[in-house]
Structures are given as C-alpha cells and as structure tokens.
Structure 1
Amino acid sequence: MVTTAPNTQSTRASLGADRAFLLLRTVFTIAPIAFGLDKFAELLTDWEQYLAPWINDLVPGSAHDAMLAVGVVEVVAGIAVALAPRYGAVLVAGWLAGIILNLVTMGEYYDVALRDFGLLIAALALAALAFDRHKAAA
C-alpha cells in the first residue's frame, strides 16, 4: 500500500483561510454590535454629526431617532454575522456602502468613508470565505 504525504502547502493555505475567517467573523460580529449599542449609550461620539442632512430629511423623527434605528440595524447585522456569516457579511458590506454614501454626500468625513471602504472589502472577503467553507462542508 502506497501512502502519500498530505500536500502541506494546501494544508497551510487552508489553515490560513480558517484563521482569516475566524478573525473576520469575530470582528464583524463584535464591532457592529458594539457600535450599535453605542448609538444608545453615546459614549464614543456624537453619532448624529455623521448623518447627512438629506437622509435626516427622509427619515421620520429626529436625527437622534435615526441613529437609534441605525443602532438596531447594526446590532442585528452583528448577530447575523455570528449566526450566518455568508449572509451577515453581505448585509454588513451593504450597510457599509450606505454609510460611505452618506458620508461622501455630506462632503465631509472622507477619512472615515475611506476606512469604511476598507471594512466593506474585508466584509466581502468574509463572505467569500464563508461561502467557500459552506461549499466545502456540503
């Protein structure tokens, strides 16, 4: 009987993908939940300053009410990543795209928009890894 050694390069790549998946899943679970809860606690910043006036005009209630709704969506997105990362990561990426649009149309906070673009790409990477893991398990 002839045995072959496992392909160590593919094993190493698989371990790296598993680590990347775990890191991204963890951060995209914790960060949205933490930021969402802070919309209620207001410990980190005055979140209302980041709301574009045209969006504030579209949503019912005050800017504060809008930020509370944003907080709920962010908590739900974090939970979605924890429970179903294939879909939760896409939800987070879409949410980040909306935040970027909001910030860019304000004509301010381009640095935050650029950071959020990086996060959007990372969320899409998580989705890709999650879909690959799902296919491999099937």
Structure 2
Amino acid sequence: MNTASSPAPAKSGSLLAMDPQRQAFLLLRTVFTVAPIIFGLDKFANLLTHWTIYLAPAATSVVPIPAQTFMYIVGVVEIVAGIAVAVRPRFGSLLVAMWLLGIIANLLVLGNFFDVALRDFGLLVAALALNRLAVAAGRASRN
C-alpha cells in the first residue's frame, strides 16, 4: 500500500500550471521592473544607502556635476529602465544589462565594493536570460 501522497494537480490557468519557461519569464520581468524603479526612486531619498559612496570620482570628472545630481540622473535612468522592462521586456532587459555593465565598470574603477560588482554581474546575466526568455515569449505569442 502506497501511503505517500501525490501533489494535487494545479488548477488550469494558475501560475503552477504555467510552463516553467513562462514562469521564469514572469519572475524575472517582475523583479527587473520593480527593483530598478525602487532603487531609482531611492536615489532621491537615500533611504537604503547614501548612493554617492558608490560613485567613482572619475564619473564626476567626466561629467562635472555634483555627485548627488549625478545620482538623480542615475535614478531617472533606473526608473525608465524598470518601466521599459515592464512595457517592452525584450528591449528593457538589454537596457538593464547595459546599465549594470556600466555600474560594474564604475565599481571596478572605484576600486572598492568588488562584492557588489560581482553581485551586479550575476544580475547582468539574469537580465540577459530575461532577454532570451522575452524572445521566446514573443515567438510563442506569434504562433
């Protein structure tokens, strides 16, 4: 007699019944929409951290503006990137990936926060994975 219970079948239309590829797409799309918007908004509030400590002095020498003003611009770009992922994930994911590449370069130039640079590299790879899933989702919707 088998006493092990089998999992109940997922209801049709539920998230659990969805194709794993679609689930991954929705998960990454949600995260890369919400996180950039939250981090972008925080560039104006500095509640999570004081963001200017992550800015390499070389950045403000290239663009001669105060560090906090630079971070306001960064915040706007991050908000736009999050909205782009929500609206056009195939394009927005590449925007986020390129943005993360810029952040990584900045941190390496700064010569500090290598742990954050490594984390951002992982996020860059996840953004590229979102791009590939967005391409697949686009193909599936055309079929």
| TM-score, normalised via structure 2 length | 0.86
Q: Which of the pair is proportionally richer in helix?
A: 1
Aligned pairs for 1:1-138 within 5 A: 15-138=19-142
| TM-score, normalised via structure 1 length | 0.89
Structure 1 unmatched ranges of 5 or more: 1-11
**Alpha-carbon shift at residue 137 of structure 1 (Å):** 1.7
CA RMSD across the alignment: 1.2
Identity of aligned residues (%): 60
Deviations 1:33-80 (Å, cap 9, x if unpaired)? Answer: 000000001101110010011111111320000000000000000000
The letter of the residue matching 1:55 is A
User: Partners of 1:62 and 1:26 in 2: how far apart?
Assistant: 33
Give structure 1 regions of 4+ aligned residues with deviation exceeding 4 angstroms.
Answer: none
User: Partners of 2:106 and 2:47 in 1: how far apart?
Assistant: 22
Deviations 1:69-123 (Å, cap 9, x if unpaired)? Answer: 0000000000000000000000000000000000011110000000000000000
The letter of the residue matching 1:90 is L
Q: Secondary structure at the match of 1:60?
A: coil
Q: Secondary structure at the match of 2:64?
A: coil
Structure 2 unmatched ranges of 5 or more: 1-15
